[in-house]
Structures are given as C-alpha cells and as structure tokens.
A and B are shown apart, each in its own frame.
Chain A
Amino acid sequence: MHMTSRHPLKIRIESMGVYLPDTILTMEELLESCRNRPKWDLERITGIHERRIAVREYAADLAVRAAARALRLSTYSAEDLDAVICTSISKHDRPDEFSLEPATAVRIRRELGASKALSFDVVNACAGMINGIYIMQGLIRSGAVRRGLVVSGEHNMPVAETAAREMRHSFDGQIAALTLGDAGAALILDGSPDPIRGFHYLDLVSAARHDHYCYSRPSKRGPGGILVTKARGLQRKGNEHFPFYFKKALDGAGWALEDLDHIIPHQVSVRGIENSARALERYLGTPLPPITRIIADHYGNTSTTSHFVTMHDFILSGHIQSGDNLMLVSGASGIVISHAACTLDDLPDRYRNHFGPGGTP
C-alpha cells in the first residue's frame, strides 16, 4: 500500500544508530562447522566473505544497543519518545527460547527509559523496518505521536547453526541460512521541518500467492529454529515484479533515475543484488549508474536491519552525503516488495561527526 508525496507532512530520519557485534565469522569457518558441507563454493556464489555474530548477546540486546546509539545522536531523549516499534524477526532473547510475550518493544522501552512510549512489535519478515517506518508515518501524520523509534535487533546465528547441524545435502532448503549475520539498527523519526527532506514515498505490497518461497519456524528434527528458502524461485519472482514497483516509487517521489544518489537494496547476497540490478536495467531499458550500495560481502544478510547497516557503512565511508536522495529497496518472504524514497537532511554529517573517526561511538 503506498503513500505518495501529496501529504503536506513528511517524516524524516532524525537520528540513526547501528550496532554491529565485534566478533567476525567467515564463510569458510561457518562451512567448516557444517555436518554435511555443501559441495558449492558458497562464498563465490553469494559473494559473502564474513559476517558479524553476537556472542553472549541476544536479539533484544542488539536492538537496545542500536537504539541507545540513535538516542545519543538525537536531539530527543528517551522520555521524549511517543512510540517504540520493534520489528525484529529473530526474537532469540535467551538460548533456546523464542519470545512471544511481552512485546520486545516493551523490553526496549524499559531498558531505554522511554516511559511514555506506545510500544508494540511489528513482524513482516525482512521488510519489517520499512513497515515500521510506514506505520510511524501514519501515526505522526494523524497526530497520534510526534516522534518515535523504529528498532530491530537480529540475532540470526541460531538459525545458521541449525542449518549447519541439519543440512543433509547441497540442495538443502536451509542453505540460505548460511548467509545470515547479526546486527541491530534503530531510527528516530519525526515530522520533517523541511518539506524537501524526508520520506517522499513509501510503498509496501504483499503478494500472498507467493507465500511458500521462504519460511522460518522451529525444527521438526531437533532443537533450534530453521529458515527454509527456495532462493532461486524467490529471487526469480522478486526480479519479475520489483522493477515495476521501483519505477512506480521513482515516479511517486517525482524523481528521474539520474536524481537518485544511492540505491540501498536488502543485502541478501552480493550476487543476488547484482542479478536484481540487471533485472532493473532490463525493465528500465537503461544501464544503472554505479549507485547500488552493497555491504553483504562483509556483513552478510542481517535481515530487517540490512538497509541501515548499509547506510551506516556508506555514511562513515563518506559516500552518502547530507541532502542525498536514497531509494531503499526490499524483497522479503511473503513475498513483500517495498520501496522507500527519501532525501536525507544533515544526518550524514552529524553521523560522521559522532560515530566516525574521532567521534564518540
């Protein structure tokens, strides 16, 4: 369901925080731990060399750390937040447990001291954070809240560990779980004081006919959770349809392709993103400028957080500048295709000053 730029109030990313655990796990190390190692060169096929993994930290911890960073950069305090929406998929908050209640947002609210915030969880696979932005936009525009936190902590490694334990052959449906990584990301959103900065267009569409391509649930064969993906089918179906929505989002934002400074895709894998870029070029009938930003090679697929981990990396490296136009693109199990067209304010400069070299991360 889309929202065009006709509404007078735009929301903006007032602040952002990303938390990446220090421990690195390479693809080779993960493959070595597999009981039945796939015969494929998974590093070459996916382009993923390594990822960060949380050790003695869990999903809610990653979310809290990211949110605390976002608050440090923000002009708002935790007490000022009117809403906390947590969008994590992997609610592994203790070993061998998957949390249902209370909502993770309540735990985050408690840790941050956001005592006035409306708090609930939203789950929509890897589109979760963009879905959270869409909801926050509605709440801010209706006047129900003035500012809020959209946050996610993804502790995906338990699912990768189950895959390493249970995969039986090189075509096993759990193989895509070996691409996952851990991270936390948080955004503080408010009404943009500048009508040309902020989210111009948000579009999410769920095509439930394709709900069979990817699912996650507890394993039937042993302990742990599993992620089963028909990766080629999912990508083929996504590439068939997402270029249409990409063009629609460009048009909705009132942009031409050359107005875009960065395309921030969901970081499924390096090769997957490259395939999608080619599908987009075929649809648009023109080559894409070199603006597709990829970090999957060293962070893997961090599911809901991946767009903002990518922004974090490219802001710190100086590629993303204040005032840049971004298109966030996501394909998630469901299948959910989502696009967010956004012009940044001075967030990149503030972010670099705070979290860059010489800053206070």
Chain B
Amino acid sequence: MRQCRIESLGVSLPERRVLPRGSMRHAVTAGKHCIRSSKYAPADIQVLINSGVHRDNHVCEPAIAVYIQHRLGINIEFQGRETLAFDLHNGGCGMLNAIQILCALMESGQIRVGMTVASEANSDRKPDPAYPYPDSGAAIILDRSPLLDRGFGHFAFHCREEYADLYTSIVDISVPRGRIRLQRAAELEAVYLGMIPHVIEEVLAKDNLTPEDIDRLIPAQISPGFLDQLPRMTGIPENKITGFPADLPDTLSTSLFLTLERSLAEKPANPGETFLLLACGSGVTVAATTYRF
C-alpha cells in the first residue's frame, strides 16, 4: 500500500560562480523553492531531515538540519508547534533513507508532513582538485497520499560492505579548518552496476511490478558511461531512462532529485505513471524505490 507522496519538490542547481555559495545557501534555496510550491506552511513540517554529506566549515554539531530549520523559519521556538530536525548520513543514498523514514513515520501515524533536504559544497579554502561534485541542493516535502495506490512503494537497499573502502571521504583535521579528502576507486561504477539488477529485482518484486511496468527510470547521474550501461543492467529500454549527461553532472546526495525535477520539468508525469528511482553511494550501497503519480 502506497501512503506517502511527494507533495512538493525544490532544487538549487549547480552554477558557475567565482565565489561558491556554500552548502547551507543551497539547502535553504532548495527548501524555500520547495515550500513556495507547497500547500503547506513551514510550521506544518513536523520532521526535517538533512541528508547532505559535505557541510560548510565541516561542522559536526549541532545537526545541520537545525541550521536549515532556523533559516527556513520552521517552528524555531519551544512550546508551540514543534519540529524535530536531524541529520542522516548515507552518502548518495541518504535522501532515499530519509524518505523511507518519513514514510515509516507517516504509516505508523507519528507525523503527517515531513521534509528532507540535501545539499553539497566543498567549503575548503583550496578545494582538492579531485573533489568532483558541483554545489547543489534539493528539498522535498512529503505528506500522506490522498489515494492509496499513489506515492512511494517499497524500498530496497543493498550494501556490499566488503567494498566499503572503494569510496571514502574524510575531513583531514591535521590542518587548520580541516580539509576534505575523497577517494573513489576506478572500479566503483562497475560495483554499482553489478548490484543494480539485484536491487531492482527486489524492489519490483515487492511492488508486484515488472520492468515493463516502469514508465521512467530516474537514476543518479553517476557518469555518462554509467547511464549507458543502465538499459542492459535494468532491462528497461533506453528511451525510458532519464539521463542528462551533457549538463547535469553527478551531485552526490542531491543527484537523484535534481534528475527527477529536470525530468518532470521537461515532461510532466501523467496520473498513474510509475517511476523507478535509483541511487548509488558509498558503503557500497545501491538503493531503489518505485513511485506512482
């Protein structure tokens, strides 16, 4: 039974700037866009989850979600309408984890409206040239679906922890202000691709679907080569796979929902269409869910 839907989606797109805007600015911009197009007011949001990986000044306490909550004006004082804000970290799959949690909280009757935000930026004064991700932000408001067969279906997360060392990101604090050191092994994409058939098989089976039932596959934009391999690995024809290899690079935690936003902007979904969302990240983790409009 599908009970949780995307009520609103907002993004802050990568852009070329002399002075980078930072992850907080991208999170807040995406959040404001999302709230502006929502029927809900900020005060209606009961849980706010930030699932971005890289943070301005590498702050590790308090939760970055609290700073975002403050800047979006979501129930910022005690003893009134209340919001719980926290961070969730799981690399490129973090937003899907956050959505699964918000869906669980809705299904168990704990909340009615939730929001997840992610943003990425490298705030180092001299960023490592190997750092690959352009700055960006994405935000989603979720609520209970008015129709029982619309919204998110089941989720599948596959983790191959034996490959955990293929993707590591740390803040080196041996230097003042800290510095991001990110390492991605060349074989990482091959591991993602090898895991994808199993994840998709599981999620489609849970939702009683076949690849033919999928109207659009929305993948994280890992690389043009990765996108080229998806028809073979998923059994979904190329014309149903959304890729923007020329102008939408991989943006880590935000990539899946920047892709969804662009796809819907170019061609809105028809009621009853089923999308398959696919994310990949460190761990090594590959995650998928279905969404019916």
Contacts and interface: CB of A to CB of B under 8 A. Distances in A.
A122 B88 contact: yes
A139 B110 CA distance: 11
B246 interface: no
Q: Is the interface of A mostly helix, strand, loop or mixed?
A: mixed
Contacts of B161: 102, 106-107, 109-110, 115
Given A106-B161, A121-B90, A217-B178, A1 B84 contact: yes
Contacts of A214: 61-62
Interface residues of B, number: 70
Contact of A91 (B60, B84, B107, B155): B60
Interface in B148-189: 155, 157, 159, 161-162, 164, 167-178, 180, 182
B198 to A, nearest CB: 13
B66 interface: yes
B100 interface: yes
A79 B159 CA distance: 14
Contacts of B176: 218-223
A142 interface: yes
Interface stretch (A16-24, A332-340, A344-352): A332-340
Interface stretch (A37-45, A67-75, A201-209, A309-317): A201-209
B174 A138 contact: no
A333 B104 contact: no
B53 interface: yes
Contact of A1 (B57, B83, B172): B83
Interface string B95-115: 001001101110111110000
Interface stretch (A25-33, A123-131, A322-330): A123-131
B60 A208 contact: no
A241 B77 CA distance: 10
Nearest to B170: A97
B66 A120 contact: no
B69 A206 contact: yes
B259 interface: no
A225 interface: yes
Nearest to B180: A100
Interface in A94-141: 94, 96-103, 105-107, 109-110, 115, 118-125, 127, 131, 134-135, 137-139, 141
B257 to A, nearest CB: 17
Contact of B173 (A2, A3, A208, A224): A224
Interface in B45-86: 46-48, 53-54, 57-63, 65-67, 69-70, 74, 76-79, 82-86
Interface of B: 46-48, 53-54, 57-63, 65-67, 69-70, 74, 76-79, 82-91, 93-94, 97, 100-101, 103-105, 107-111, 155, 157, 159, 161-162, 164, 167-178, 180, 182, 281-285
16 contacts: A90-B60, A101-B168, A106-B164, A119-B90, A122-B86, A122-B87, A124-B87, A141-B108, A144-B155, A158-B173, A211-B62, A214-B61, A215-B62, A217-B178, A241-B78, A244-B78
Counting from the closest, the 3 A-B pairs by CB-CB distance are A218-B178, A141-B108, A208-B70
Given A110-B162, A209-B70, A217-B178, 7 more contacts: A142-B103, A144-B100, A207-B77, A223-B174, A224-B173, A332-B62, A334-B62
